Amino acid sequence: MGAVRPGVPIAQRPVVRPVAADGESDGPPCPSCGTPNLPGRKFCRRCAAPLKPSEQAEALPWWRTRWPFSRKVRAGSGRLLRGSLIALVIAGLLVAGFLLVPAGRYVVEDVRDKLGGTGEISPTEVSASASTPGHPAKAATDGVTNSYWGAPEVGASLTAAFDKPFRLVGVTVHTGVSKKPEVFRQGARPTRADLLITTEDGKVHEKTMTLADKPGEQTVRTGISDVVSIRFVVRAAAGQEGGRPIALGEIEYFKRT
């Protein structure tokens, strides 16, 4: 009997295991292929595209593209440098507007008038182009309203001069022979007047006052710098029957303090 050959080993057949359910089907979709991915993944499980692409930097404002704001500086100093440069630019524009642009200077002075205080200023000299007897020019600046400057006719004027230039912010007048209503209409009173305001450089500014025909103070704002004299010219009046003088009970001038 012949020798028996050893048997050929038979390889084990592979065991097929069921595939586990994909737990990533409920995650956010890939922005490239749309495959769902679990939160926390950085790349898509199918196409390997980034799930959270880096955000693009916002475009710089136009002024950041101009020198000197476009210059790169050391870390930590950029904010301070930019703030300082912006403050210098703003200050330069304000100075230029104040010195070079009349409208800019007017705005600045007008703001100062509103924020600052005011005080009455008395003229050093008062004169009139004409006065009726017993009612001289100085009666219009004596601080009381029961005396008055009497203008004989329309066109007469009262001029106040000042020793130093000042910022005139307003003029207040009291018309008529008295502030008492029952006495007010017993005399003539101006209903319109022009203020001719002369400044130190010789320029004359004109303001028109339309006056209500009633007792009490009436004010016009001016806002004029370097004033040296103010002329009040009567342009229209009421109650002149019988040749009664046109009464200006009091005129007051106010400066910025």
Q: What is the pLDDT of residues 71-82, one digit of tens each?
A: 554 545 566 777
Partners of residue 118 on adjacent β-strands:
256
- Residue-level pLDDT at 70: 63
State the burial class of residue 104 (Cβ atoms within 10 Å of its Cβ: 0-12, 13-18, 19+).
Answer: middle
* Tens of pLDDT, residues 223-252: 999 999 999 999 999 999 988 999 999 999
Indicate the pLDDT class of residue 134, thresholds 50, 70 and 90.
Answer: very high
- What does the alpha-carbon distance between residue 189 and residue 187 come to, in Å, rounded to a whole number? 7
- What does the alpha-carbon distance between residue 218 and residue 173 come to, in Å, rounded to a whole number? 5
Lowest mean pLDDT among 45-54, 158-167, 209-218: 45-54
Percent of the chain's residues with pLDDT above 90: 49
| 30 vs 201: which has the higher pLDDT | 201
- pTM given for the model: 0.60
- Residue-level pLDDT at 19: 43
State the burial class of residue 205 (Cβ atoms within 10 Å of its Cβ: 0-12, 13-18, 19+).
Answer: middle
- Residue-level pLDDT at 20: 47
Residues in the chain: 257
